[in-house]
Amino acid sequence: MASAFPESRHAPDSAFAPPPGREEILRAFCDVRRHTEALAAPLTPEDQVVQSMPDTSPTKWHLAHTTWFFETFLLKPFYSDYQEFNALYAYLFNSYYEGIGPFHDRPRRGMISRPTVDEVAIYRSSIDERMKRLIEDADRNIWPKLCDLIVLGLNHEQQHQELLLTDIKHVLFQNPMAPAYRSDLAAPGQGNAPPLTWQSYKEGLYEIGHDGFGFHFDNECPRHKRYSAAYSLASRLVTNAEYLDFVEDDGYRRPDHWLSDGWNEVNNDGWRHPLYWRKQDDGTWAEFTLGGLKSLDLHAPVSHLSYYEADAYARWAGKRLPTEAEWEVAAAGTPIDGNMLESDYLHPVAHDDLKRSPIGLRQLFGDVWEWTSSSYAPYPSFKPAAGTVGEYNGKFMCDQYVLKGASCVTSASHARVTYRNFFPAPAQWQFTGLRLADDG
Amino acid sequence: MASAFPESRHAPDSAFAPPPGREEILRAFCDVRRHTEALAAPLTPEDQVVQSMPDTSPTKWHLAHTTWFFETFLLKPFYSDYQEFNALYAYLFNSYYEGIGPFHDRPRRGMISRPTVDEVAIYRSSIDERMKRLIEDADRNIWPKLCDLIVLGLNHEQQHQELLLTDIKHVLFQNPMAPAYRSDLAAPGQGNAPPLTWQSYKEGLYEIGHDGFGFHFDNECPRHKRYSAAYSLASRLVTNAEYLDFVEDDGYRRPDHWLSDGWNEVNNDGWRHPLYWRKQDDGTWAEFTLGGLKSLDLHAPVSHLSYYEADAYARWAGKRLPTEAEWEVAAAGTPIDGNMLESDYLHPVAHDDLKRSPIGLRQLFGDVWEWTSSSYAPYPSFKPAAGTVGEYNGKFMCDQYVLKGASCVTSASHARVTYRNFFPAPAQWQFTGLRLADDG
Amino acid sequence: MASAFPESRHAPDSAFAPPPGREEILRAFCDVRRHTEALAAPLTPEDQVVQSMPDTSPTKWHLAHTTWFFETFLLKPFYSDYQEFNALYAYLFNSYYEGIGPFHDRPRRGMISRPTVDEVAIYRSSIDERMKRLIEDADRNIWPKLCDLIVLGLNHEQQHQELLLTDIKHVLFQNPMAPAYRSDLAAPGQGNAPPLTWQSYKEGLYEIGHDGFGFHFDNECPRHKRYSAAYSLASRLVTNAEYLDFVEDDGYRRPDHWLSDGWNEVNNDGWRHPLYWRKQDDGTWAEFTLGGLKSLDLHAPVSHLSYYEADAYARWAGKRLPTEAEWEVAAAGTPIDGNMLESDYLHPVAHDDLKRSPIGLRQLFGDVWEWTSSSYAPYPSFKPAAGTVGEYNGKFMCDQYVLKGASCVTSASHARVTYRNFFPAPAQWQFTGLRLADDG
Amino acid sequence: MASAFPESRHAPDSAFAPPPGREEILRAFCDVRRHTEALAAPLTPEDQVVQSMPDTSPTKWHLAHTTWFFETFLLKPFYSDYQEFNALYAYLFNSYYEGIGPFHDRPRRGMISRPTVDEVAIYRSSIDERMKRLIEDADRNIWPKLCDLIVLGLNHEQQHQELLLTDIKHVLFQNPMAPAYRSDLAAPGQGNAPPLTWQSYKEGLYEIGHDGFGFHFDNECPRHKRYSAAYSLASRLVTNAEYLDFVEDDGYRRPDHWLSDGWNEVNNDGWRHPLYWRKQDDGTWAEFTLGGLKSLDLHAPVSHLSYYEADAYARWAGKRLPTEAEWEVAAAGTPIDGNMLESDYLHPVAHDDLKRSPIGLRQLFGDVWEWTSSSYAPYPSFKPAAGTVGEYNGKFMCDQYVLKGASCVTSASHARVTYRNFFPAPAQWQFTGLRLADDG
């Protein structure tokens, strides 16, 4: 997705600025929708059916669900005399919106072979046609409202683009033949990890969160004050080489590094190294990637860590994870730049071959989402979005941790410094790593 | 499969009769292999990946596994300088032969998207080519041995043809859209169930089991004596109408009809009627079939009963299930005729529109497999087949029950009066029903 | 229980012989009830609460349930103006009689601390008092019926005496301190296993099952004909030494010896030897017994084998398990004599220190129950006992195997040649072993 | 426990103040130890064995584990020539200290009948004797260190006193007979809930956490700054009457009130009201208490709520839970007074019959622990205590929520405004309720 993503420049609930124009929205709509299809294109129909665990979804489910989102939140309420495409799709492709109606049991998404990939494509194009007509013809009175919902739908679809890739990676990994998602991925240049330095931040009262101008999710609001004691952050992400030291220092054998729940996972699930690592017969390490099995690049950022692993590594290293406020305060003002989806590596890379600030914090966006020590909780005075879309984020604010930045499979146009990604502590299948923090 | 299946006419371990000729075997090989592919042809690639429960397997797994059987038991030992098609296929498509090597975990067959349907087709055609060459060129000294193994492989593939259909029925049933496997199935004529009469059999010492001449599975041997007290058998299968009486008489609510294990299933899994039945809003009953959702034909034999349900029905009706010996003694000499795979109904039918004996036992073959009260145990002096194929049947002789006859998805050429099918008591996804028996 | 157990000498449903007299029944009642209490006496209250797995029951549950049996089947129907002891006891101490009413979930029996051991003793003595009065005062018209039910209740209690011991053994085994049930058990003399010889039996039509005169369970009837080919039986049970050979020949590592379900247990539960064996640091074997941890007596019969283990051993030894008919035919007429509960060893013993037949089959009764290859099924024309006691046996006739003989914790007065004990194939916590059989 | 608990008046790692004297420690030691035994005294041995779920422990395990704590952390390192009481107790009664060695699987604590209650009493008195000697004789150089550890051990034991009561309540609740722990509990006077008013707090930078002087757990440190926006707190706890309104307004049927994880619990576990409530046949509500089944006192604070229920109620009421900082800031300086263990009600009470501040926040201590919306996380610059006792709190800082105050089964001498109790969101078996909070 080469073109930048058009931002909804007005605050969602008021109107400080005019909403984007119809052409801009139409172009964005077409770009995002097309891009999802491009991501699925390298996959066989067979690949697109499998659900490898309850947390993942089949590719064709992502393709249909993102379409259902537009059908449900835009066409049904706003398209005149809208005829539902297929009443059962509402059951099959509603993810979790209780306010919309009953839905298919999540762990059983992989039991559903129909609609086929081709039928989902017809569903997509049917909805797209009507969405385009709606964008063109909608009454100007409702345009600001529509515009907000469409931009929400596009951001929603970008999230599913990322999930589509992390999910299919997990699916293909189940296969002992270790098939590649694509064999034509861009090849990163050789490179070393940048030297690790520490950036210090003063004690103080800071503001974090979104100010409400331009698109954002409800969970990023309101902007509010946080007090931080003095702290410092590592200038870059932890590398595979560094994490391998932990592994080889019996990191997965010594309970004193681990949270109690993490130690239970280590023992119950037999964790001995990150999910996609595999020790070769010759003693070297390989890693399963979207391009297939590759030698482990020791200079690249370590990825696919659970919160438990990130926390254990930090403890072993004598440091800690940053809080979400520490990260956001430090990252404020940094341009959104890095190894994201557009690089087409689809994997964290060692060499920083895009222009980067020579000093300061590097790799803030791209490569891997960075675990913070902050439990995912509502910001003070948080109000979920009105209506059923209010189920989007708020009801998950329990027993998850916030991740900041963006990963190698996040669209650059989707990243924001105030973005709050969140996953449960045991999750390993996302591109998740860490940046060390310290007091003072 | 119109043509009759060529029988291996000699006893497996001796040579009373010459083995079938190469042309006959070649034709049978091509017929059976082609037929499997014809059964899969109506399915989309997406359909062929899904595994709906640990007991079922994806269609493409059946296609590959039956091919692996020939590769493993014929090509590897007998084809000179044989190059394995793909070393990992041995891991993925070995079902349960410990003697061959490690194999992929059965409940995870649905996690494997590759090889794709097209790649499995290439695997099949590659193995077929070499099998044909082997059939044509094999040394005449080993031909009798080869011939036995090929015929075993073809019978094995016929079993998987049946499983392919029962498995895909279960897969499609998971989908609330209730898609049909085929919409062009043969339509049975309207008809009533034949009247129920009772056939009596005298007390005596009988012989059951296979005599060893012609193809048979090892578990059918040796032929041996069994004593039976006087008994009688119903002239036909229990119908949907009769079973519905049981349902409507609170059959699934009254524990006194049920085995203790069966009653636990009723309660834990919420059984209220046969697996594929569905009560319509208008109070009538429908049934999910390979042709989609259809009105329940009250005159057709009831199907998809577990052993527990068959036993509970019989108890409610004041009768019992027959033993395998009672069934086999009564069926001895009856021609193999009925609603089998070749009818292309793929469902039990009410109207007996094939020629049938006007008197005596009807529906012995076809429509549904008939539960017997006999635990699946080795016949006296049973010896499993030599070598790894000895794992085919013997190691499953525990906690399963014998079913006799054949179903509407069994090839006629596969059916035999001595055939011992077997499934665990809770199994519902096969075409399984019952014929009542009584003492005296 | 020194005195012999008074038999109900009439056939249960007719009256060929007069029923036992009141004094005889009263004495038996007192003996059996007192003996159960004697078995529980060495245990602390704490021991009597624990349920180590769903298959076992707490000691105090056994004490109460056997009492509930008399309250439910004798006092409530026959004692005039009977006042229920405690309405909730009917819920807590009904084991599985659906016809009586709802009951407490079996796997949660160990959650119930009250009634305490002392309160259960009061319950027992209250019921006993009224039972004694009923025995003394009952109208002579109903005496034959009462007599049958009381004798059934006493046999029921004897079964629970055996379970009380096998269950508490399993409970104490959970404790790493391996506490003994009793430290004053009778010590068997040193001895060798008798030499193994083979007894042959001719082909023929035999009768097995109970003839209906004298007490028996419904599942032993009716007496009926069975055909057997010629066979032979080992003169004695398999010993620990012999089974150890199997263990040391990698018996638990080689799948070819095992039924498929058994091999799954071996792998999933990590079986490497019989349940209660423990390899000592010095390389010798010890065994947990009701007397605590003891050196494994190599000459004693092996015990605590599941059906899978018994079957695997027989296969490894090139033999097989006997059928129930083969066992019963061979044992017919043998006196009920051996290492049973009265020996007070409470463990299989090597030395045959009771008088035994110098030739023929030894150890038929006592030491261990002997697995047969016969699935537990109704005998031809079997009818469960009338009324709710018909749930006693019949509803369990599925997926279990018949065991013959008696064990070291069976009362001699409880043993019969026609007795059919039954347990599921994976069960290990009973005193279960095997005698080899062979064809011809 | 009438006498106040002697505080260790020095900061743990330095020595601003002299440690308590030996007599004071000795008296506290005897008081706490004796009190634990007094709490167990009303229970039968049978009661003391049962473990009702993995989260609870048997009473006798608590009695032994608290003793093991002193043996492990005091006697083994400091008592000269200490002979371990029983080497296997270290395995059985170590709760979760990986640094000490392997330990018995938590969910299987209820499988262990020995040591019996009497044997545990002997263990306790043996350790107590030696502890007393250690307290009297220890070298004055190590006294400050000993003193810290003993006070830690006594606080540890007070926590287990609370757990002993909440665990036995859950155990007795499993029994359909609903037995009372004690029938002689103090009876609260009749009373109404105080009127609900709101206390407001200004925006500002506040300090929370323990200053390090006097006893505290490591997780309460260090004292640190937190910024709060303006907020208000309810003057009292939510009552049963108020919560019943939520129940009767279909609170457990409407997903929009619930966190997603909570809604799953509601559906999977069939929650319809608080754990111990029971609707009577006459339509009124009863509640299981430590005194048995009682009418629900509508004026008393609601108890035994999970985090999910507390959060759902607050959402339904249009309010929210307080953060731990909001609670602690508001409670600072309030005397530790309320319905705690010493009241001997062992249940939340309506009538405030102890002297209370007529205005301001009521019920801050006692009745129920108050859920906060704060995930249990390390305070900034938190360092776990040195050595194995560092496992006490730190390793559980994940996926739990902080509770403030104290409950009706907390010793008054154990409560502190800085105290951080923590439980997972689904936990219901503690005395847990809520106080509403609001913005501004």
* Tens digit of each residue's pLDDT (9 = 90 or more) over D137-165: 999 999 999 999 999 999 999 999 999 99
Q: What is the largest CA-CA distance in chain C?
A: 67
Quick one: pLDDT band at residue C20, thresholds 50, 70, 90?
Answer: confident
Quick one: pLDDT band at residue A187, thresholds 50, 70, 90?
Answer: confident
* Tens-place pLDDT, residues C270-319: 999 999 999 999 999 999 999 999 999 999 999 999 999 999 999 999 99
Who has greater pLDDT, A295 or B5?
Answer: A295
CB B320 within 8 Å of CB B438? yes
- Cβ-based neighbours of C127, under 8 Å, separated by 6 or more: C67, C70, C71, C75, C85
The mean-pLDDT minimum among A282-296, B290-304, D191-205, D357-371 falls in: D357-371
Query: In this complex, is the C-beta atom of D113 within 8 Å of any C-beta atom belonging to chain C?
Result: yes
d(CA A81, nearest CA chain D) in Å: 29
CB–CB contact D46 C47 (8 Å): no
Measured CA to CA, the distance from residue A255 to residue C299 in angstroms comes to: 46
Cα angle value D422/D424/D430 (rounded, 5°):
70
The predicted structure's pLDDT at residue B238: 98
* Tens-place pLDDT, residues D7-19: 443 344 444 567 7
**Mean of the pLDDT values across residues D26-33?**
98
In terms of Cβ atoms closer than 10 Å to its own Cβ (0-12, 13-18, 19+), residue D283 is exposed
CA distances from residue C401 to A360, C170, C374, C427, D354 in whole angstroms, order as listed: 74, 21, 6, 10, 67
CB B420 within 8 Å of CB B219? yes
Kindly tell me if the per-residue pLDDT of D204 is higher than 70: yes
CB C431 within 8 Å of CB C368? yes
Kindly tell me if the per-residue pLDDT of C14 is higher than 70: no
Kindly tell me if the per-residue pLDDT of B14 is higher than 80: no
CB–CB contact D114 C47 (8 Å): yes
Radius of gyration of chain C (CA): 22
* Tens-place pLDDT, residues B217-235: 999 999 999 999 999 999 9
H helix or E strand, kind and range, residue A432: strand A432-433
Query: In this complex, is the C-beta atom of B45 within 8 Å of any C-beta atom belonging to chain A?
Result: yes
Q: First CA to last CA across chain A, in angstroms? A: 41
Query: Position of tokens 């400080």?
Result: A16
Measured CA to CA, the distance from residue C243 to residue C276 in angstroms comes to: 14
- Cβ-based neighbours of B286, under 8 Å, separated by 6 or more: B277, B278, B279, B280, B293, B294, B295, B296
Kindly tell me if the per-residue pLDDT of B196 is higher than 70: yes
Q: Tokens representing C94?
A: 């009904």
Q: Coil, strand or helix: which one is D303?
A: coil
**Which residues in chain D are closer than 8 Å to C112, comparing Cβ atoms?**
50, 174-175
Query: With the C-alpha atoms ordered C215, C218, C224, C228, is the resulting torsion angle positive or negative?
Result: negative
Q: D10-16: list long-range contacts, CB under 8 Å, 24+ apart.
A: D10/D144, D10/D213, D11/D212, D11/D213, D12/D148, D12/D212, D12/D385, D13/D212, D15/D144, D16/D213
Who has greater pLDDT, D271 or C356?
Answer: D271
Q: CA nearest C428: which of C56, C157, C177, C36? A: C56
Provide the phi-psi class of D398: left if phi over 0, else alpha when psi is between -120 and 50, else beta. Answer: beta
Measured CA to CA, the distance from residue B255 to residue A395 in angstroms comes to: 43
- Cβ-based neighbours of B17, under 8 Å, separated by 6 or more: B9, B10, B11, B213
CB–CB contact D377 A377 (8 Å): no
Looking at the DSSP bridge assignments, the partners of residue B293 are: B288
Q: CA nearest B71: which of B51, B59, B58, B86? A: B86
φ, ψ (nearest 5 deg) of residue A102: -65, 155
CB–CB contact B174 A108 (8 Å): yes
**Using CB atoms, which residue from B49, B52, B108 is nearest to A46?**
B49
**Which residues in chain D are closer than 8 Å to A398, comparing Cβ atoms?**
259-262, 307-308, 311, 425
Mean pLDDT of chain A, nearest integer: 93
Tell me, what amino acid is at D123?
Answer: Y
Q: Coil, strand or helix: which one is D277?
A: strand
Kindly tell me if the per-residue pLDDT of C333 is higher than 80: yes
The predicted structure's pLDDT at residue B192: 86
Query: In this complex, is the C-beta atom of B199 within 8 Å of any C-beta atom belonging to chain A?
Result: no
d(CA B117, nearest CA chain A) in Å: 8
CB–CB contact D49 C52 (8 Å): no
Q: Find how far residue D402's CA is from the centre of its chain.
A: 11
CB D287 within 8 Å of CB D278? yes
CA-based nearest residue in chain D for residue A101: D255
Measured CA to CA, the distance from residue A72 to residue B367 in angstroms comes to: 45
The predicted structure's pLDDT at residue A189: 79
Pure H helices in B220-356? 240-248, 260-268, 307-316, 324-331
The predicted structure's pLDDT at residue C356: 55
- ipTM of this complex prediction, to 2 decimal places: 0.94
The mean-pLDDT minimum among A264-278, C412-426, D190-204 falls in: D190-204
> What is the DSSP pairing of strand D285-289 with strand D277-279?
antiparallel
Who has greater pLDDT, B350 or B304?
Answer: B304
CB–CB contact C262 B398 (8 Å): yes
Mutate to test the interface with B, among A46, A60, A171 (most CBs of B within 10 A): A46
C 221-280 residues with CB < 8 A to B: 224-227, 229, 255-256, 258-263
The mean-pLDDT minimum among A16-20, B167-171, C36-40, D290-294 falls in: A16-20
**Which residues in chain A are closer than 8 Å to D377, comparing Cβ atoms?**
373-375
- Touch between D and B (at least 3 CB pairs under 8 Å): no
Measured CA to CA, the distance from residue B237 to residue B407 in angstroms comes to: 12
**Mean of the pLDDT values across residues C421-425?**
98
Kindly tell me if the per-residue pLDDT of C10 is higher than 60: no
**Mean of the pLDDT values across residues C368-392?**
94
A 397-426 residues with CB < 8 A to D: 397-399, 425
**Using CB atoms, which residue from A47, A86, A174 is nearest to B108?**
A174
The predicted structure's pLDDT at residue C15: 42
Peptide bond into D274 cis (omega under 30): no
The predicted structure's pLDDT at residue B191: 82
CA-based nearest residue in chain B for residue A104: B176
Kindly tell me if the per-residue pLDDT of C12 is higher than 50: no
Read off the pTM.
0.95
Kindly tell me if the per-residue pLDDT of B2 is higher than 70: no
Quick one: pLDDT band at residue C331, thresholds 50, 70, 90?
Answer: very high
Measured CA to CA, the distance from residue C324 to residue C319 in angstroms comes to: 16
Pure H helices in A138-268? 143-173, 240-248, 260-268
Counting as contact any 3 or more CB pairs under 8 A, the partners of A are B, D
Mutate to test the interface with D, among C113, C170, C429 (most CBs of D within 10 A): C113
The percentage of chain B sitting over the pLDDT mark of 90, rounded to a whole number, equals 89
**Mean of the pLDDT values across residues A393-418?**
97
Kindly tell me if the per-residue pLDDT of C205 is higher than 50: yes
Measured CA to CA, the distance from residue B390 to residue C256 in angstroms comes to: 10
Q: Coil, strand or helix: which one is A306?
A: coil
Q: Kindly write down the DSSP assignment for every residue of B214-257, as one continuous string.
A: S---GGG-S-EEEEE-SEEEESSPPBHHHHHHHHHTTTTT-GGG
Provide the phi-psi class of C380: left if phi over 0, else alpha when psi is between -120 and 50, else beta. Answer: beta
**Mean of the pLDDT values across residues D195-212?**
96
Query: In this complex, is the C-beta atom of B102 within 8 Å of any C-beta atom belonging to chain A?
Result: no
The predicted structure's pLDDT at residue C191: 82
